[in-house]
Structure 1
Amino acid sequence: MRISRRAFAALTGSSLAAAAHAAHAKGLSALDTNGHVIRLPAPNASGFQYQRLSEGVQFYLNGVTKTVLFYGPTTVRVNAHLGKNHWTNKSIVILGHPKSVAFQIEDSKTALRIKSAALSIEIDKASGALSFLSADGRLYTRERATSPQAIRPVTLQDAQSYEVENSFTLKPGEGIYGFGYVNEATLNRRGQNLLLVQTNTGIIIPVMVSSEGYGILWDTYSKMRFSDKADGATLWAESAPGGVDYYFMGGGSADKVIAAYRTLTGAAPMYPKQAFGLFMSKERYQTQQRLVEVAETFRNEGFPLDYIVQDWQYWGSDKDGSWSGMIWDKERFPDPDGMIRKIHDLHLKLMISIWPSIGNDTALAKELDSYGLRFKPLHWISKKARIYDAFSAKGRQIYFKHIKHGLLDKGVDALWMDGTEVEVGTACWDAVEVEADIKSLGVNAMGDFTRYLNPYTLMTTQGTYDGQRATGNKRVLTLTRSAWAGAQRTAATSWSGDIFASWKTFAEQISGGLNVTITGNPYWTQDTGGFFVTTFPGGEKNPAYRELFARWFQFAVFNPLMRVHGTSIEREPYIFKTLDPTVYAALLDAVHLRYRLLPYIYSLSWQVTSSHYTLMRALPMDFPHDPRVYDINDTFMFGPACLVQPVTRAMYNLQDPPATTIPASALRTPDGRPGLAGQYFEGENFETPKGKVTDVKLDHTWPGPPLAEAPGGLSGLNSFSARWEGQIIVPEDGEFELGLEGDDGYRLFIDGKLAVEDWANGAARYKGTKLTLKRGQAVAVKIEYYQATGGRSLRLAWRTPADLRALAESRKVTDLTMHTYLPAGSGWYDFWSGEKVAGGQTLTRETPLNVFPFYIREGSILPLGPVMQYATEQPDAPYEVRIYAGADAAFTLYEDDNETYDYEKGAYCTCALNWSQATQTLSVGARHGGFPGMAQKRALRFVLIDGQNPPQTRSHLYDGQKVAIRFKG
């Protein structure tokens, strides 16, 4: 049955916990997370029993109570538990409520069918497994027939809950996408095993989207694992107080799935227009003088910029108690008001870093502590700072009050919320450590951190968003190092954390970012150029790094937000003007392209808000009927028109491929067994001997699969050391290269002599030595390693004589070409040349440093603006409107005041552009709507590109009246 919230509150009292208790006392199920009470069968019921509800069906089978509720025409919630719901608070993700969707029930001997106009759900009476079908009977997916779910009661941190898993049977060839940025280089999640725990470089969003046109959102917040195996795709959760709880979203396309997701969890509000220009960020600008100096240099050099970012410690030191107190250091930032005025006078905006860890000596900490709203564990970087409780409404209110007084009221334009996964005792990339780190916080205002492990980021960005909306009309823009389902409604853009500069990491940003945006979180970015630059000695002075930076910068053009950030080296783009003019020219071309695309980008940002659109798009979103795109990791759509393939390999400054891991067949322990004999020690200098091991090959990434715990009897995975000994049996005559790749310190001894040493903290890097060996020779080796904190890996590798010969030959070849697959079902235009080619084929083109594969889909309208220094520089700027012929096309131009939420009240205007391929006519619609300060007239230059003839052009001064622009056939 269903009763209203008001009636239920009157019956049982206002608290959800009390309501749940009263429901149990009356023989009802626990209150679910959206305030609905559902009657259970009698406790002694057996076999399949069901009852119809106003919004769905509940059934009982083998001790499991399972409920199916409509939340929209093609959206249903599925909940399964053992008769009790242990949630004590409503969902923090779901805003939607069950809907009264007309449906029929068909009851047969083997199945119960729930049929609406748009969706059909079949329930297997033997197992309780659900099958989801479209209105025309096409199967979307089904729960695993033999065991759709497993539910086990558990008590964790003194709270009752369930450990659960549920499984789906996927179709052969089906593509699965989503779950966020989980540091995987592959877009398609088929066959993957993902540990879903927030980390420094792990953005977890529990949403998957299928090439079959459906999606699943799990409303569970604990540690989870997703695995796809032969017997099905399974999601396991450590603590799910409500049992299995997911939302099936049908509709037949990825865009409809995302629309359903945002209907459930909240729409994405508009960003200020300048958010779509360039962000310049660095760890860190030490003084206000330096910050202003950099901003002024951008303007003086004519390199476009919209936001400059102040990273941490503007408040003081990491050693005192001032950490993230929303205050300014009086020596280094003596006049923040004046500094911000100077930045604003340059038509720039200021974004500033804040943390959830609060210094003990700040007014913010003292107010939080007066309510008991900071957790006990100390933050790793400052032993005088602790995390605030963002799960508390009072905690969020106090936190925002100090942000407003100390930062926003001084003119700060946007917040950069760092460490929101949430980082506590270590700035760690390892999910196992982060899990323990977060759980050490204990219990928050909503419950234990085992059940609330992952969504801290949502709660803290919700608080700052709500605070800004309640106190002003300026659009909110937040950058956060983590994300969760629902983050889009808080105006939060996630970024991929403190990544390392390498071509491999760069490539991972593409597939990783796409697996964020396909979940329904449309805004994502990353540290262009990599945060850490450790494998390129000299940083910006290294030509190999400059090439990487130029290519990475080109990719950033097509990120929802374009942002440069990193530590240690200089990377303000203007420095390359004299350092490397060729790279500078490529950077300038790229940023000019971004600013020219602003009419296209900003108009599509309106579609994100008004129609749940997604700007950065995995190819299966637009081409689900072309299976050849399902596994393409490096190519994507940017809006409906643009297909982009960033160049993700060196062409001019080639780096050697990694040396190969020495195989088990070439290794022997001292007593003649395959492999190497190892010994682990507690401490970084072999202090306390622990367990002995035999490794058939030395290739460790601790604690990677299948290793689930610390090796060799260690108590943990920080501050340990290890030593391996044995022999390498040489397979052929000639010159070899033997080496180690590791993080942190390592040494390699060959025949008793130190041959390789890099005994220092650092990211994974390789060092080797060459020597001439004879086939059958037994070379004695000893490897020593120590691990401090953070990433941990060690690999014993070689280059054989054949490898070295092949390497020498490869260095003679310069390959400037890229191979791009263009999806079938459309023609495509090369953006640079205007040449038209057919889809369904792979093209090869030259890509010198200022060019990358960039194609426009036929039947596209692409509005371009002029090059500007900042996004709002020319409100009445002339537009070039390109029509790429071959099919009918449509695009809606959008304008508003760029800054406020008045668009929510109708203060905006649109202009519909429609191209008729048959009549060769572009219809420019009448202007709809308006807003104060709107440009009344705009010069438009129309360019028709058909791939066969020279471009045709027409010009028109648009004054808001409808007009038809005709071209010759």
Structure 2
Amino acid sequence: MELQPHHVPEFDPVADEDAIVRAPNCRVTILAPRLVRLEYDSEESFEDRPSQLVWYRNQPVPEFDVERTETDLRIETAELTLQYEFGEGFTDDRLSIELADGTVWQYGEDESNLGGALRTVDMVDGAAELEDGLFSREGWAVVDDTDRLVFEDGWIAQRDAGDDYEDLYFFGYGTDFEAGLDAYTDITGDTPMIPRWALGNWWSRYWDYTQAELRERVEGFADHDLPLSVAVIDMDWHVIDNPHHDGWTGWSWNEEYFPDPGGFVDWLHDNDVRTTLNLHPADGVHPHEDQYEAFAADMGIDPASEEPIPFDAADPAFMRGYFEHLIDPIEDEEGIDFWWIDWQQWEESPELEGLDPLWALNHLHALDRTRDDKRPFIFSRWPGLGGHRYPIGFSGDTIISWDSFRFQPTLTATSANVEYGWWSHDIGGHMGGTIDPVDFGELYARWTQFGAFSPINRIHTTKSASTDKRPWQFDGEVFDALADALRLRHALVPYLYTMAWRDHRDSVPLVRPMYFHTPDAEAAYETPHQYYFGSELVVAPHTRERDDDTNLARRSVWLPDGEWIDLFTGEHFEGGRWHARYGDLGDIPVYARAGAIVPLDADVSSNDVANPDAMRLVVVPGADNEFTLYEDDGVSREYRDGEHVTTTITQHDDGDRSTVEIGPAEGALDLVPDKRTYSIEFRGVAEPGTVEASIGEQSVEVLATEYDADRDRFTVDLPAVDVSERLTVTLDVDDATLARRDRTDEHVERLLRYCKLPASVKDQLLEESYDRAELGWLADYLQVMSASQQRAFFETLTGAGMDRIDHDGDERIVVWNGDGRSDISYRYTAWDYDIHPFEQSGESETGVVPAFDLFDVDDPDLDATVAMQYGDLATIEQTAPADD
């Protein structure tokens, strides 16, 4: 029995003959000016079948020159030069590639790889080691495809290769990360469009819910005006108690819990909520299952024998029956929207060496979704390179801790280096940890804020009675922070969906490391916990708990060159520098670049994520920009044939005037409302003078305007506009459009409001002028301040500070002094206590704090301290202790 036709992709694996250069025992394929395939085989038996990773080698042939002698081969493209001396196998002294900038790769050389993704964070509390990605600080990376299986007759087979066969792909893209990803997806396939509903909020809990209880949970979100898009049904949907195994695997509905699963799913859909079922397929199919008899007969097993049907990813007959008997009927009869493939077992099939069942499940489940014009959407762990074709990713069972939370922004951003852009993390953590009602509430709120600005926002918890993450179980500021984050996430769907289209079309993931667009800035490589979020925003989530003395969370932020506006407060920031940010529980550090355009859904009162009737358009003046809003039906694959709508939004800044133009919608207009109302929010803008609006050449009456001086926000409400018309709004100000006012006094007063200090001290400080140039006035107050309070005041007043950065397990201490103050100095000291308690060993240096510097203190034998001296007033220390 073979797989179904929809389980077999349309491959194009044979490269154009003109792209191939042959030499003794060697074949080189020029796939792009900076992408080369290198094969060696002593019998010259080379591989043209698609591998598990590479499906499309038939690429446009780039220009290149070949020089060949009896002993050597030289190939030169516009971007690299390959040198190979013929011999027995690739060796470091015979094979090299030089890039255009002079960088040379020698075969076998290791690079300082920038990292990629990982299979799972199961049982990891904190940072975990990432697999290699497609980029390095040296400018090149090598992907070894030698041991991957190949497709034959639609399914997987061993390569018939000799022992000395090698199959390598050399990526020489330097810091042109987007071009590298584009070339990678050219040969491996695009990231599919995900369903629009997946971008809303998810509720998930490992719990033996009845359908009535789960309905109550969904209604709870509505009762508290919290939008919800997906309700996950974990493993207790199926029969657990049985005489054959431990119950983790199951295919038959537990009728005690779900007496009417189809009716329940219909109710979810009627309330604009999608659902998934959790699968643990490893134990196969046993005779107590509803589907056993028919499946066993298909597999040649006598059902009367009650012989179990073992799980076998290598057998196409089993995998075809798996879908025909187990998966597809539940989708068709109960309306399940997608599957959570929770594979946690073996990584290699005993029936076929090299076949990872996780990869097989991801591959076939994704393709099975396409049988009814659905998108290839699943929920599963990362199966290695090529996993971008099977969104979305389940990062695994996360420990409930600040350390685990801190790793998730790094993991999410770094995975862009392998085009794996759609992670779903256990927001709030899955298991373990210490559940203190105050500390856990803070951690959960911060995690959910990150979830609102991550690819998928899925709240999840294990089967623990003490860990209840229903947002309405929390009081006061925790509930407010949770509710704000969930509503904000729902509002972001138009922006997120456009970014999904950009990723599908251009291979630019939603979340990317800072060095992706600022590769020449060294600071960009030292900010692993912040990231680009789409084309318009930078996000730096709070990942540390509040300090007991300041009652505020602190984090360091680096912004690239240019002008940036805090998306929520409207505060202006100069780029190319660091700052320390102090925030209460409602603070979410999100920065919009000058010129930013962020389309939002204006209605967050329901679960509906359809193309909205009313939109909030957030714009930041100060620069010209263009944003193309993308919309389609949100679920089908018809967008491939042009069944979509685009609306081009532009912003033009003339210094004292900002003009926003919403162009006519183009494409399949039946997919969007006939008319839309717009509320345009100018953020970070100076107090406006006049505002005018027009449709085409016809003036339009503005319904209402409002200026919030505290947040430098000007809102313009407009009447409903036909989407086929062009809407123009022009805002005039007296001076410059951006409000670049200094908010230092506001920050100091905010610190005073939150800090634990004697009332008399606070009263006196409130009378101060907060002179930033001369800090002597602060001396009288330092004796009653803790070290963290002193640090907060100095960093706020001077703009100079330092932070300890956990860089994927490596420690750095960064220092900064954006204003170039000469009265702030540092001393770096390293010592080894094993030699003598006070004997210095290692580096030591002093000086005025520069605009930016870092100290690599990841030496297990040394303790290291950076002491920052603010004049002669105070010394603030940052220590990175040696490992025990």
| TM-score for the superposition, normalised by structure 1 | 0.63
Matching residue within 915, 924, 929 for 2:662: 924
C-alpha separation between the residues in 1 aligned to 2:128 and 2:381? 9
Matching residue within 76, 86, 99 for 1:115: 76
Aligned match of 2:168: 246
Aligned match of 2:696: none
Is 1:102 the equivalent of 2:63?
yes
Distance 1:527 1:633, change over 3 A: same
Task: Check the 8 A contact 1:273/1:871 in 2, yes or no.
Answer: no
1:656-675 alignment runs, 5 A limit: none
Distance 1:891 1:109, change over 3 A: farther
C-alpha separation between the residues in 1 aligned to 2:96 and 2:715? 54
Distance 1:627 1:364, change over 3 A: farther
Q: What amino acid maps onto 1:535 in structure 2?
A: G
1:56-455 alignment runs, 5 A limit: 56-60=20-24, 65-83=25-43, 90-99=50-59, 100-107=61-68, 112-123=73-84, 127=91, 129-133=94-98, 137-139=100-102, 142-143=105-106, 148=107, 167-168=108-109, 170=111, 176-180=114-118, 207-211=133-137, 214-220=140-146, 243-251=165-173, 253-317=176-240, 319-321=242-244, 324-357=249-282, 358-361=284-287, 362=289, 388-401=311-324, 402-419=326-343, 423-424=344-345, 437-439=346-348, 441-443=349-351, 447-448=352-353, 451-452=354-355, 455=356
Residue aligned with 2:585, SS: coil
- Is there any run of 5+ residues in structure 2 with no aligned partner, and where? 1-10, 150-160, 688-711, 737-884
- Is there any run of 5+ residues in structure 1 with no aligned partner, and where? 1-32, 38-51, 149-166, 187-198, 224-238, 375-382, 425-436, 653-811
In the TM superposition, residue 922 of structure 1 has moved relative to its aligned partner by 2.8
C-alpha separation between the residues in 2 aligned to 1:70 and 1:822? 39
Is 1:938 the equivalent of 2:676?
yes
| Cα displacement string for residues 34-73 of structure 1 (whole angstroms, at most 9, x for unaligned residues) | 8769xxxxxxxxxxxxxx963232334xxxx333212234
Q: What amino acid maps onto 2:576 in structure 1?
A: G
Aligned match of 1:234: none
Between 956-965 and 897-906, the greater mean CA deviation after superposition:
956-965
Task: Check the 8 A contact 1:397/1:463 in 2, yes or no.
Answer: no
Task: Check the 8 A contact 2:563/2:593 in 1, yes or no.
Answer: yes
Aligned match of 1:459: 360
Distance 1:244 1:627, change over 3 A: farther
Distance 1:216 1:575, change over 3 A: same
Task: Check the 8 A contact 1:824/1:841 in 2, yes or no.
Answer: yes
Task: Check the 8 A contact 1:122/1:131 in 2, yes or no.
Answer: yes
Is 1:599 the equivalent of 2:494?
yes
Task: Check the 8 A contact 1:517/1:524 in 2, yes or no.
Answer: no
C-alpha separation between the residues in 2 aligned to 1:524 and 1:578? 27
Residue aligned with 1:303, SS: coil
C-alpha separation between the residues in 2 aligned to 1:611 and 1:373? 47
C-alpha separation between the residues in 2 aligned to 1:385 and 1:406? 21
Distance 1:88 1:953, change over 3 A: closer
Task: Check the 8 A contact 1:184/1:512 in 2, yes or no.
Answer: no
Residue aligned with 2:392, SS: strand
Q: What amino acid maps onto 1:929 in structure 2?
A: G
Task: Check the 8 A contact 2:530/2:538 in 1, yes or no.
Answer: yes
Residue aligned with 1:178, SS: coil
Distance 1:459 1:818, change over 3 A: same
1:589-628 alignment runs, 5 A limit: 589-628=484-523
Distance 1:368 1:119, change over 3 A: farther
Distance 1:363 1:86, change over 3 A: farther
C-alpha separation between the residues in 2 aligned to 1:373 and 1:616? 48
| Cα displacement string for residues 95-128 of structure 1 (whole angstroms, at most 9, x for unaligned residues) | 1124333321145899643223454434466956
C-alpha separation between the residues in 2 aligned to 1:261 and 1:640? 21
C-alpha separation between the residues in 2 aligned to 1:570 and 1:241? 55
- How many positions carry a matched residue from both structures? 671
Residue aligned with 2:53, SS: coil
Task: Check the 8 A contact 2:398/2:426 in 1, yes or no.
Answer: yes
Q: What amino acid maps onto 1:248 in structure 2?
A: F
Is 1:829 the equivalent of 2:565?
yes
Aligned match of 2:874: none
Aligned match of 1:535: 433
C-alpha separation between the residues in 1 aligned to 2:308 and 2:452? 37
CA RMSD of aligned residues (A): 3.7
Task: Check the 8 A contact 2:347/2:358 in 1, yes or no.
Answer: no
1:693-732 alignment runs, 5 A limit: none
In the TM superposition, residue 583 of structure 1 has moved relative to its aligned partner by 0.8
| Cα displacement string for residues 152-194 of structure 1 (whole angstroms, at most 9, x for unaligned residues) | xxxxxxxxxxxxxxx2354xxx6622143675999xxxxxxxx
Task: Check the 8 A contact 1:941/1:954 in 2, yes or no.
Answer: yes
In the TM superposition, residue 607 of structure 1 has moved relative to its aligned partner by 0.9
Task: Check the 8 A contact 2:117/2:411 in 1, yes or no.
Answer: no
Q: What amino acid maps onto 1:114 in structure 2?
A: I
C-alpha separation between the residues in 2 aligned to 1:874 and 1:581? 31
Distance 1:967 1:108, change over 3 A: farther
C-alpha separation between the residues in 2 aligned to 1:325 and 1:500? 26
Distance 1:882 1:179, change over 3 A: closer
C-alpha separation between the residues in 2 aligned to 1:569 and 1:499? 14
Q: What amino acid maps onto 2:433 in structure 1?
A: T
Is 1:583 the equivalent of 2:478?
yes
C-alpha separation between the residues in 2 aligned to 1:175 and 1:852? 31
Could you tell me the percent identity over the aligned residues?
A: 23
Aligned match of 1:883: 619
| TM-score for the superposition, normalised by structure 2 | 0.69
Aligned match of 2:157: none
C-alpha separation between the residues in 1 aligned to 2:526 and 2:300? 46
In the TM superposition, residue 473 of structure 1 has moved relative to its aligned partner by 2.4
Between 567-576 and 267-276, the greater mean CA deviation after superposition:
567-576
| Cα displacement string for residues 303-337 of structure 1 (whole angstroms, at most 9, x for unaligned residues) | 21110010113211154447644321222222111
C-alpha separation between the residues in 2 aligned to 1:35 and 1:222? 15
Residue aligned with 1:518, SS: helix
Distance 1:318 1:565, change over 3 A: farther
Aligned match of 2:556: 820
Distance 1:394 1:843, change over 3 A: same
Is 1:55 the equivalent of 2:19?
yes
Aligned match of 1:508: 407
Aligned match of 1:485: 385
In the TM superposition, residue 554 of structure 1 has moved relative to its aligned partner by 1.0
Task: Check the 8 A contact 2:557/2:580 in 1, yes or no.
Answer: no
Q: What amino acid maps onto 1:390 in structure 2?
A: A
Task: Check the 8 A contact 1:911/1:926 in 2, yes or no.
Answer: yes
1:896-911 alignment runs, 5 A limit: 896-911=632-647
Task: Check the 8 A contact 2:123/2:398 in 1, yes or no.
Answer: no
Task: Check the 8 A contact 1:255/1:614 in 2, yes or no.
Answer: no
C-alpha separation between the residues in 1 aligned to 2:368 and 2:532? 35
Distance 1:955 1:438, change over 3 A: closer
In the TM superposition, residue 215 of structure 1 has moved relative to its aligned partner by 4.7
Task: Check the 8 A contact 1:889/1:915 in 2, yes or no.
Answer: yes
In the TM superposition, residue 371 of structure 1 has moved relative to its aligned partner by 7.0
Residue aligned with 2:587, SS: coil
